[in-house]
Structure 1
């Protein structure tokens, strides 16, 4: 059976077993996921899985429950409906049930790249080989992955949708003398990932990060590379532009207020890349502007949070949204070039560097921002970030994969890792963004289908509170 046929069969089973008044929505997704991992500069694991997941949400007798399964024969689907119905009978009343998505058009998603959808292990391995070779003898580790999903949605209100998506990503480090350099990229097409270019960049960054010096904590002018900016976008999405948290007054968001610098425009944009064109409730997924030239204009909603806020769903229904809230997963920080002329090509990633601190800058986009810094820091990456104050979105975390002191527009020496404590909205506030690169780079998330896209970013102040040890 096709995914749509499976979804339709579950809807019919709900009608037969739970009665005509029961409301059901069904999502069926077939996935082919493959990962080629390498460490110590050789491939040590190639794994692939194919499976079908069926998710049912059922509202019956004023109560709601959800269930999932992977058996798509008649017995398996019947068992899924029976156990979900049993769970609904035990669930508390759900007076806030928002109802089902009515029949409505769902535009087709972006064109699927068949070569990525059906990529072979050899094709991923070739990119790993290019990464390792380009690192010039440095120790390397990382992965190359491909993903293909086809799916369908159906509900008992008569609404249905179908879609397909494919994605590729590569993430690798090169290491020398205890210093790491990183290069990452996510793309709709495996053919857009050049392992040699990424490996050369990671190696150049690693060589430039050796023999770091200790600097005192304090506020520094910073240039954040796209990998670090991705962490800003992820935390803003989870804890700020989340409609449930906003309704509970646990978010910094103040709609209609100029909370960000005028250079900041943030868009959650699933159609920008290969993505399923509907959410878990069957709502069409379109581009949603969250911040327009510094002014916060929207938050993400599913049907439940939207109904509570008196707003429509923005296409952000997802498993667990009733607990965690609806979360944007495809956030873009638009550079001036993209806003003006629609440019969205990836930043060129050159080999750069001869082992000196100057090798920390591997592309012209970052170099242009660094050139304007009198005294500050160039930061490659953030990690282990945790929320201290959700309302102001104060985050603490660590730098990694390279930090450099910049003096008079030139990186002069590598610096030991810092701990930082910073309010992300404050750091991006009016007058605090001193520059945006012109070319965004899409960064992979831990799960396929989610990504964060941004150019490098120069900020007037970032609060470093100590070394990595505390």
Structure 2
């Protein structure tokens, strides 16, 4: 079963039909915005080194938000027939009339072209259908995903393996009663797998806009090398250690920065560490939210948000200076600024969040030359130059089960996972048992705290639906390990 590609313009026609129904049922004074979104996901899962599940799901969801007589309500449906659309409108109008006054209603997005669609002219819908969309990925078959799984399992060379290969396709349109009408589509492929030996796991992950860019054999070999190198771990005492974090661990930093730090609602409520124009990070740090992709990678997200605001790259931190936080129309109104295109169905409750953050890699010329790694090295290629500089510290693959202890300072506690090694004089000395840490993430990246950044940002699969982060390896002066995971 392959994903069905929705006819161009189909979602926009549905959205326009709902807007007309709103005018018919509620009158011309009603302010309405409609998002029609078709999501198709196909997943090939494997465990015990064999595929055990192939599933595919496709859903079209219509979401209506309505503001009528100073009151607001929203509702959604997956029934696209005329009776379903009318039912959606009628129950949303009824809900709005029964709701309390909404004094924070930010108004509707005015008609505006999508960024990157400079060729558009006239008053018709602005199209985002040309943002590097890879149709081959959207139409990927189970056999194509199974090829990547087969290559992963074979490359693990007898180790027990588990994981998934996934392809997704989204096409969507937005229309509102103020005349904004936009559409776009995106596709993604991702692979996440482990290799296991004597209870120790090695992991390898990768995401991208093209299934053709996923090399199952390379990922399987990397996971197996980590599992083999993790045998016979030693325990180290708690304390502050110099560390090299591989991209998987760095993605957890970006995830928590997005949810709790660069969140416009948290910023407005003074629950965020972010201070605009302050030098809060090491000068080596530049963080950008890139929903439209990069020069080498197709768009990761849709080119507009659920309020119809066009999206573009947003620089959150430049050369260590905090420059922006993510806003929807409500948080932007509170802050006296403009929306950055980060509205979501939950952003008025949880706040707007950046979902495609990239920590910029360092220029390759800044890294020392190191000899090629052997096939059994557990060190990610992007981390090897950083490890070669470390006198004594830890190489950490991944974090998990991270929880916030202090949101304002963004103090996080969590566990290491999927491989930790002691490094002395640039050489791997011994595997280390997993440890608990308690660390302020902004403090770990503060001025003077970064000793090196890898030369390549690696795209990693989402931890939550709709998010994807690109991260290089990071060499940090200090990381606070507070206990051994065994007790």
- In structure 2, runs of 5+ residues without a counterpart are 1-8, 118-127, 367-371
Return the alpha-carbon distance in structure 2 between the equivalents of residues 297 and 276 of structure 1: 23
User: Counterpart of 1:5 in 2: which secondary structure?
Assistant: helix
Question: Offset of 1:310 from its aligned partner?
Answer: 0.3
Question: Offset of 1:379 from its aligned partner?
Answer: 0.1
Return the alpha-carbon distance in structure 1 between the equivalents of residues 28 and 484 of structure 2: 63
Q: Which whole-Å deviations, capped at 9, do the CAs of 1:98-126 have from their partners, x for residues lacking one? A: 10000111133522111101000000000
Of 441-450 and 161-170, more deviation after overlay is shown by 441-450
CA contact (8 A) 1:119 1:146 kept: yes
Determine whether 1:386 maps to 2:394.
no
RMSD (Å) for aligned C-alpha atoms: 1.5
User: Counterpart of 2:16 in 1: which secondary structure?
Assistant: helix
Q: Which residue is equivalent to 1:88?
A: 96
Q: Which residue is equivalent to 1:64?
A: 72
2:181 to 143, 160, 170: 160
Q: Which residue is equivalent to 1:54?
A: 62
Question: Offset of 1:31 from its aligned partner?
Answer: 1.7
Return the alpha-carbon distance in structure 1 between the equivalents of residues 278 and 40 of structure 2: 43
Return the alpha-carbon distance in structure 2 between the equivalents of residues 230 and 268 of structure 1: 13
Determine whether 1:368 maps to 2:380.
no
Q: Which residue is equivalent to 1:189?
A: 210
What is the total number of aligned residue pairs between the two structures? 456
Return the alpha-carbon distance in structure 1 between the equivalents of residues 209 and 466 of structure 2: 10
Determine whether 1:435 maps to 2:461.
no
CA contact (8 A) 1:225 1:455 kept: yes
2:41 to 33, 36, 47: 33
Question: Offset of 1:293 from its aligned partner?
Answer: 0.3
Return the alpha-carbon distance in structure 2 between the equivalents of residues 188 and 206 of structure 1: 28
Q: Which residue is equivalent to 1:347?
A: none
Q: Which whole-Å deviations, capped at 9, do the CAs of 1:122-175 have from their partners, x for residues lacking one? A: 000000000000000000000000001111100000110010100000000000
Return the alpha-carbon distance in structure 2 between the equivalents of residues 351 and 58 of structure 1: 58
Provide the TM-score with structure 2 as the length reference.
Answer: 0.92
Q: Which residue is equivalent to 1:98?
A: 106
Return the alpha-carbon distance in structure 2 between the equivalents of residues 451 and 183 of structure 1: 16
Q: Write out aligned runs for 1:169-248 (5 A).
A: 169-248=190-269
Determine whether 1:133 maps to 2:154.
yes
User: Counterpart of 2:225 in 1: which secondary structure?
Assistant: helix
Q: Which residue is equivalent to 1:422?
A: 439
CA contact (8 A) 1:65 1:91 kept: yes
Determine whether 1:466 maps to 2:479.
no
Q: Which residue is equivalent to 2:274?
A: 253
Return the alpha-carbon distance in structure 1 between the equivalents of residues 438 and 58 of structure 2: 42
Question: Offset of 1:352 from its aligned partner?
Answer: 4.3
1:409 to 402, 418, 426: 426
Q: Write out aligned runs for 1:328-343 (5 A).
A: 328-337=354-363
Return the alpha-carbon distance in structure 2 between the equivalents of residues 231 and 177 of structure 1: 27
CA contact (8 A) 2:33 2:108 kept: yes
Following TM superposition, where does structure 1 have runs of at least 4 consecutive aligned residues deviating by more than 6 angstroms?
none
Question: Offset of 1:90 from its aligned partner?
Answer: 2.1
Q: Which residue is equivalent to 2:124?
A: none
Return the alpha-carbon distance in structure 1 between the equivalents of residues 359 and 68 of structure 2: 42
